[in-house]
Amino acid sequence: MKKIYLDHAATTPLDKKVLDEMMPYFSQKFGNPSSIHQFGQEAMEAVDKARQQVADFLGCSSSEIIFTSGATESNNMTIKGVIKASNVKNPHIITSAIEHPCILNSCKEAEKEGSEVAYLGVDKDGIIDLEDIEKAIKENTILISIMYANNEVGTIEPIAEIGKLLKKINSEREENKLPKIYFQTDAVQAINYLDCDVDNLGVDLLSLSGHKIYGPKGVGVLYVKQGTKIKAIQDGGEQENNLRAGTHNVPGIVGLGKAISLISENRSRIKEIKKLRDYFIDEVLKNITDARLNGSKEFRLPHNINFSFKGIEGESLLMMLDADGIAVSTGSACSSASLKPSHVLTAMKISPEIAHASIRFTLGKDTTKEDIDYTLKVLKEKIKKLREISGM
């Protein structure tokens, strides 16, 4: 059976060059980087190299890179660590209603412990309004966390514009002796495709994950701008500038460093991926009735396609496509077991019925036109079959 993987927003296959770089650190180069003997120093050199590779990509100092187990930990560290370091009574956080569950659930936990959180809405395309952010700021606001690009619908948020706005606001706050508002972005979905220079974005914290960039699972990064007030959220050793205790995952870190160094090479295919995305969207709209594209067509990740098909149930369509060798998603991989409609689509004012009929296709660097044509053919057949069953 033909197998086509169109779920790259959930995870990406490990690049062969990345695997080759990692392999020695599973066996002969097994030292603990915290050890001072030659085995440990060999491992530490590899960690330092990876740290510099990430720093070069983000345009920052290597001392501002903290290795974590993934973006979920990085995002938890941001919300909880910034609150922990704050001297503000009832600290206030601003985020959006379409964030990843690790941000939303961290904020909910923070609320239980006395913090205030503003969950800002988005427009019909999933884009946040800068005026809403400015209006939501209070004297006790300490953090704004807005994702760079949405994992479900691919909408790109105006992060650089928010960064410019906050620079101006923080200048005024400094004059009035109010606490600085830190700005964080979850850049997990953006890393492969968008400008992630932290100075250009104007962010103080940025999170990313290895397995979304053709690297290994179980490793991620939190960029922490020098001077940012943040405390560790777990106790242990002094690793990662005393912010992230625990023995380094050396093979994973080496793999992440190699993967991020290959992004510029992989970006050579962005135009081709975008062309395939637009071809897919146009073909669906032309050949399948009652199909709704979710998210912005203009401000959208090059590889993301999210459709709702009237009269079908997303999970049923996913299973039928899978039976024919096509792997897709009904939304965020972290929410795939939930029977609730997508919180992202709900925030975009999409009805539960249409939200339940959504399917996400996310292309990768090795996706071909043949893959897309086969998927379109099968998709049309399965939707027709499901609609006949439902009596539509």
What is the enclosing helix (H) or strand (E) of 4?
Answer: strand 4-5
The predicted structure's pLDDT at residue 337: 53
The predicted structure's pLDDT at residue 341: 87
Using CB atoms within 10 Å of the CB of residue 6, give its burial: 0 to 12 exposed, 13 to 18 middle, 19+ buried: buried
Q: Which residues are catalytic?
A: 334
CA–CA distance, 342 with 325 (Å, rounded to integer): 25
Domains and CATH numbers, the chain: 4-12+268-383 (3.90.1150.10), 16-264 (3.40.640.10)
Q: Phi then psi for 307, rounded to 5 degrees?
A: -120, 150
Ramachandran area for residue 349 (φ above 0: left; ψ -120 to 50: alpha; else beta): left
The predicted structure's pLDDT at residue 266: 83
| Three-class SS state of 213 | coil
The predicted structure's pLDDT at residue 333: 45
Q: Where are the beta strands (DSSP E) in 294-357?
A: 304-309, 326-327
The DSSP call for residue 187 is -
220-224 and 65-68 strand pairing: antiparallel
CB 381 within 8 A of CB 389: no
Question: How high is the mean pLDDT in each 10-residue block of the chain (392 residues)?
Answer: 94 98 96 96 98 98 98 97 94 97 97 96 97 97 98 98 97 93 98 97 98 98 97 92 93 98 90 97 97 96 97 94 96 55 94 93 97 98 90 66
Length of the chain, in residues: 392
Q: Which two tokens stand for residue 171?
A: 């200048």
Q: Which two tokens stand for residue 146?
A: 């807005």
| Three-class SS state of 152 | coil
